[in-house]
Structure 1
Amino acid sequence: MYDPADHFRETGEQVADMVADTTDEFITVSPAEWAVEKRILPRSTTPQPGPFSWDATPYWEEVINCLDPEDPTRFIAVQKGAQVAATVGLLENAVGYHLEYVKHMPVLFFTADKELAELRVDDYIVPMITASGMSHLIQSNDEMRAGKQGLTNKRISWAGGGYMLPLGAINANKMRSLSAPILLRDEISGWPLTVGRDADPLKLTETRTNSYEGSRKILDLSTPNIAATDAISKRFKMGDQRYYEVPCKHCGKFQRLKFRGVGEGGVVYGLIWKMDDPYTVTPGSVRYVCQHCQGEMVNEDKITIMAKGRWVPTAKPRVPNFRSYHLSALYAPYFARTWEAIAIAWVEAWDDEANIPRDGELLQVFYNNDLGEPYELKTDKVKHYQVSPHRRAEYRLGELPGDHPVENAGGRIELLTMTVDVQATWLAVSIFAWAPSGDHKGYAAYLVDYWRIDGDCENADAAVWEELADVIDNRTYADGDREYPVTMSLIDASYLPDTVYSFCAQWDAGVYPLRGRDKPTKGARFQEFEIKENATGTRYVLATVDIYKDRWSAALKREWNGTSHMPRNNWSAPIDLPDKALKELTVEYKREKRDPQSGKLLGTYWHRPGNARQELWDLLVYNTAALEVVALDVCEQRLGLEYLSWPDFWAEAAGGLYWSKAV
């Protein structure tokens, strides 16, 4: 007799047997594993095409695995230097992993503006998909429009229901209808500070993930910018602030790579190098000195030490499940940004000998791109109380400083320069005396004379120009057994160029028009100045005034105790120089430059309030350029050097190049 219970029992046993015989299991794949298994790097986007590997950038493995759905991390911030392959290792792998493996999750990719985001898709994402053999996964998820494409630079849709939208932060306030669990935000330090009506684009884009609070992933990636408004450094401080430590190849002890550092007992570590001249790093001389054993490593040692490295958290995150990472360009693949390239960038931006900037803009680039650090802008102006102590009791206007440079600098006065600031109804004239600094690696500047010649300046035949010509040809200053004429005269040609060019044409050499520029010409051999010719063949000096202003702004603030040698590149004035003249050194100051649309801080520029008088400040800059023109000419023409060497120049000048024995 049929018993239904037997039927159900037999059926249950059959099902149990089938389950027992099942051997399939779901194999999870991490993003780092996926990249090695699936990705092919296209020749169009990398110097090392072929199968993807973490060998050159092992530090990104931990970071990319934070995007694993099984990983509890919700927020990831990466503050980085340039050329550390973060786009390839993080952004591209993140997109590819969700396209080919995760499949169902939508991804929002934000960068500064929509056009840049779409360009990223065209130049990086599409080549990755094609080279990695994933094109067949691209399909439209719009079932109502079968003919619709799944890939454009405005949207990429793939099998499984997932998609990626490339978007611009500047339009973030228009994305209120979007929602996604994966948010990739690229170069956030370059985003506008606000969009719409004073809305923060970082907050606006983060709200697009609020519906997925328990599973969302937000990756922020950027090189830093200016400290006051930098976004990525602020995000970095919200996380656990991880740094990558690597072992020394000599002692094996772990350390964070730093450009320069001072350890216990004053031990110096970081990058060191030799110099062929004040502007040129000796090729092949750059080494990294270990913090612990002072052993030296070369750039190619990155191949082995990076693979053994580890991320070390240094803080408790302010937000749960927030990991943040910092990586400078010192860690860049050995074939990308080399340690030698970083040393060269530093030398171009900073004068180690004088301990002053060579180029303020290049210095910011170095901090942002090589150190991976925000740049702290210095905008404080020179104060009267800082310049007033530069007056010396040893001499008065119209006199040379006597023994002061011998006792407090590096020797006697060796030459005089004169510069002229041209206005409509007067000429501001200054004469400076120059002596070697105490170490002969720079100079000591002494203001000798400062006066005005009043009159009509627009006519080259006017009396003011005759008086100036007489000064150039006949004025001399005596100091003991020496008599000094003016060696070099530079006349500012920015206001009355035709008049000034005509005036200077009277002399074959030694008197030149001067033009100013804010930035050096791209590719210029010397950043500070160039000797140029106008359309008629007249030679003139083109000076990068902002470089000199940055230097003197720092130098005028330096204190001197009055007993030891004055600091290198120091300025002195006669005891009777009026306060009114001194104040001309304090008028101009660096001012913030902001984007008029977003309010984002872009940099700084030298600003003169109203029509405030500042001729002495300009003339100090011009006279320094005049000295360097003379010094470089001696080094090149007489000594056969290709650079300005102050010790060699001063040794040559001491033979009486620019003075004669007093009668």
Structure 2
Amino acid sequence: MSQWADNYRQLSSEASAEPGKWYTERAPYQREMMDAVNDATVETVVIMSSAQVGKTEILNNIIGYHIHLDPSPILLLQPTLEMAEAWSKDRLAPMLRDTETLRGLVKDPRSRDSGNTLLYKRFPGGHITMAGANSPASLASRPIRIVLGDEVDRYPVSAGTEGDPVSLAKKRTTTFWNRKLILTSTPTTKGASRIETAFEQSDQRHYHVPCPHCGEYQVLKWAQVKWESGEQGHKPDTAHYICEHNGCVIAESDRAKMNKMGRWVAEKPFTDIAGFHINELYSPWVSLAQMVTDFLRAKALPETLKTWVNTSLGEPWEEDGETLDADILLQRKESWGDDAPEPVVLATAGVDVQGDRLEVEVKGWGVGEECWSLDYRVIYGDPAQDNVWNELDAYLLKPIRSKLGVQLNIACVCIDSGGHHTQMVYEFCSKRAVRGVFAIKGVSQAAKPLVGRPTRNNRYKMRLYPVGTDTAKEVIYSRLRVTEPGAGYFHFPLERDREYFLQLTAEKQVVRFTKGVAKREWIKTRSRNEALDCTVYALAAFKLLNPNLTQLAEDIESIPRSVPENTPQETQSPKNPAWIPR
């Protein structure tokens, strides 16, 4: 297959930074990955990788090869139907247009007699279907010989009620003796990663490259990347690699030569699953300096570091197994008085609606997403009655005094509409959207965006924002484990009692298996968790704004003060960030 790519494949300008003729030698580690698909002893190929290593084009080469030389029924499975459509338009169509041997084999969907669509294309001797793992209908019907599963860690646990999408797709291949299953993905969380599980079932191949100085072969690891730092800060441009055998200094300019002399080495006996792991350290498109820069940006917050580990190292993130201890968090309480601390430049609020009350928490945010619990209020009364909401309205309008000598307004509020009194929440929010008051609905599903695109499917035609509660809780719990003030740290005032911290830590993540597929779920360890819910909603409000906290801090600093700085100016407050509804 690598020979086919070298002989025929053309990279398209809109899909590649290096358009023109394909050369496997540009990234030599790709050769064995592609050729494994042609190996009669291999039934499944697993590629667990970082981003920026060319796996998308490997999938395209597999498709192009089979269209040209080995026509077969092919299924390309993306996490969603929308992603399948995007692949068809942005990846497949340019290849079919620009690779001469493929041009004309797949008729344009606009041709009257083609029978082709965006997601289904015929060619002599075969066809390709592009489907979404979230759509049971798109996984039904035709027998398939070649299944390509892309970004499998982003698949839902079940395609509707039908079961695991990978298993459903694999069942389509049972009538073919020469069937192939190719699975690719960046991994996610250890113990709940599809691609990690598949890789562990394989022969686990790693790419070994020789040191250009001593000749010793080794797998490239992030721990061996070093760079200079000093009073002026980190210097990514000085990044280099240290040979793990003899301490040789390997320069950026040596990487291409090392790659060309590399070889894949399996760590486990081969059955019929060939597994490959590769990371950005091998990528010709990412320099060591860029990797260091990305790492330095990511390491400040646990959730951005997790993304970096997944997408740059191609490794699953291992969560801290210890549960959060409410009493340890209780010991972190501190005193800052009635006014918001100086680092706070923005305030958001989260509102939890119960059957007999509203619970509200106001969070203050500083540079690096450092967070302060500024106030927690319980408004008792029947949320079916206006008086409770009037009291909430007055509370949200009250400015927050700051030690900076200004007053902060609550810039954004998220109110849960998924439980009690949904219509009252809609009515309240619909009249106050201009003030940044929004209804949200929690979506308890792994890998959902913390704040998704809003819908207007309600009587008031107002924006209803989906909030990925699992994602939000992962962010919150990872930040509660930050122990030193600074980026991501959560501060609590003396007023928070033990019950607050018990509620904040009232859930834990567990791994459960659904039809053999691992799934991480949040479960309650006690009945009361309102403090956690309010924190989720206040965090969602912050993410909805997506503010530039550094710029806000500069804006506040630029406000003229005609009175001592420790005297709040009643007539001035910093500019609220511009919020742009999604």
TM-score relative to the length of structure 1 = 0.56
What amino acid is the match of 1:154? L
Give 3-state SS (helix, strand or coil) of 1:227's partner: coil
Aligned counterpart, 2:399:
500
Matches within 5 A, 1:164-203: 164-172=128-136, 175-203=139-167
Residue of structure 2 aligned with 1:329, choices 265, 280, 290: 280
C-alpha distance after superposition, 1:456-480 (max 9, x if no partner):
xxxxxxxxxxxxxxxxxxxxxxxxx
Asked whether 1:79 is paired with 2:14, we answer no
Asked whether 1:119 is paired with 2:57, we answer no
Aligned counterpart, 2:184:
221
Residue of structure 2 aligned with 1:316, choices 269, 287, 291: 269
Residue of structure 2 aligned with 1:588, choices 491, 497, 504: 504
Asked whether 1:97 is paired with 2:65, we answer yes
Asked whether 1:369 is paired with 2:308, we answer no
Aligned counterpart, 2:428:
none
What amino acid is the match of 1:362? T
Change (3 A) 1:516 1:331: farther
Asked whether 1:63 is paired with 2:63, we answer no
Q: CA deviation at 1:92?
A: 0.8
What amino acid is the match of 2:504? E
What is the alpha-carbon distance in structure 1 between the residues aligned to residue 65 and residue 376 of structure 2? 73
Native 8 Å contact 2:45 2:275 kept in 1 = yes
Aligned counterpart, 2:481:
554
What is the alpha-carbon distance in structure 2 between the residues aligned to residue 453 and residue 61 of structure 1? 61
Native 8 Å contact 1:138 1:156 kept in 2 = no
What amino acid is the match of 1:124? R
What is the alpha-carbon distance in structure 1 between the residues aligned to residue 348 and residue 74 of structure 2? 60
Native 8 Å contact 2:348 2:410 kept in 1 = no
Q: CA deviation at 1:147?
A: 6.2
C-alpha distance after superposition, 1:529-558 (max 9, x if no partner):
xxxxxx99xxxxxxxx999966762255x9
Aligned counterpart, 1:246:
209
What is the alpha-carbon distance in structure 2 between the residues aligned to residue 233 and residue 65 of structure 1? 22
Give 3-state SS (helix, strand or coil) of 1:255's partner: strand
Q: CA deviation at 1:117?
A: 1.9
Q: CA deviation at 1:296?
A: 2.6
C-alpha distance after superposition, 1:290-325 (max 9, x if no partner):
2122223343432111111111111235xx311111
Aligned counterpart, 1:289:
242
What is the alpha-carbon distance in structure 1 between the residues aligned to residue 47 and residue 102 of structure 2? 30
Aligned counterpart, 2:229:
274
Native 8 Å contact 2:211 2:243 kept in 1 = yes
Asked whether 1:129 is paired with 2:24, we answer no
Change (3 A) 1:325 1:514: farther
What amino acid is the match of 1:373? E
Change (3 A) 1:378 1:284: same
Q: CA deviation at 1:91?
A: 0.6
Identity of aligned residues (%): 21
Aligned counterpart, 1:513:
408
Matches within 5 A, 1:475-494: none
Native 8 Å contact 2:327 2:498 kept in 1 = no
What is the alpha-carbon distance in structure 2 between the residues aligned to residue 548 and residue 35 of structure 1? 42
Change (3 A) 1:37 1:226: same
Aligned counterpart, 2:292:
343
Larger of the two Rg values belongs to structure: 1
What is the alpha-carbon distance in structure 1 between the residues aligned to residue 531 and residue 183 of structure 2? 48
Q: CA deviation at 1:227?
A: 3.1
C-alpha distance after superposition, 1:166-224 (max 9, x if no partner):
22222346644321221111111111110232511111100111111x31111111111
Instruction: Please list every run of 5 or more consecutive structure 1 residues that lacks an aligned counterpart in the other structure.
Output: 1-30, 141-145, 261-268, 351-357, 392-396, 400-415, 430-449, 456-492, 520-534, 537-544, 559-565, 622-627, 638-656, 659-663
What amino acid is the match of 1:122? K
Give 3-state SS (helix, strand or coil) of 2:238's partner: coil
Give 3-state SS (helix, strand or coil) of 2:53's partner: coil
What is the alpha-carbon distance in structure 1 between the residues aligned to residue 394 and residue 243 of structure 2? 55
Asked whether 1:47 is paired with 2:17, we answer yes
Aligned counterpart, 2:114:
149
Matches within 5 A, 1:436-451: none
Instruction: Please list every run of 5 or more consecutive structure 2 residues that lacks an aligned counterpart in the other structure.
Output: 352-356, 363-373, 380-391, 415-433, 436-471, 540-548, 559-564, 567-582
TM-score relative to the length of structure 2 = 0.64
Native 8 Å contact 2:302 2:478 kept in 1 = no
Residue of structure 1 aligned with 2:126, choices 148, 157, 162: 162
- Give RMSD over aligned pairs: 5.5
Change (3 A) 1:272 1:56: same
Change (3 A) 1:112 1:546: closer
Q: CA deviation at 1:386?
A: 3.3
Native 8 Å contact 1:80 1:327 kept in 2 = yes
Give 3-state SS (helix, strand or coil) of 1:46's partner: coil
What is the alpha-carbon distance in structure 1 between the residues aligned to residue 396 and residue 519 of structure 2? 35
Residue of structure 2 aligned with 1:307, choices 260, 283, 296: 260
What amino acid is the match of 1:187? E
Give 3-state SS (helix, strand or coil) of 2:25's partner: coil
Q: CA deviation at 1:593?
A: 12
What amino acid is the match of 2:160? G
Aligned counterpart, 2:195:
232
What is the alpha-carbon distance in structure 1 between the residues aligned to residue 376 and residue 112 of structure 2? 81
| Further displaced range: 307-316 or 171-180 | 171-180
What is the alpha-carbon distance in structure 1 between the residues aligned to residue 251 and residue 196 of structure 2? 29
What amino acid is the match of 2:316? P
Q: CA deviation at 1:37?
A: 0.9
What is the alpha-carbon distance in structure 1 between the residues aligned to residue 6 and residue 105 of structure 2? 21
Q: CA deviation at 1:79?
A: 0.5
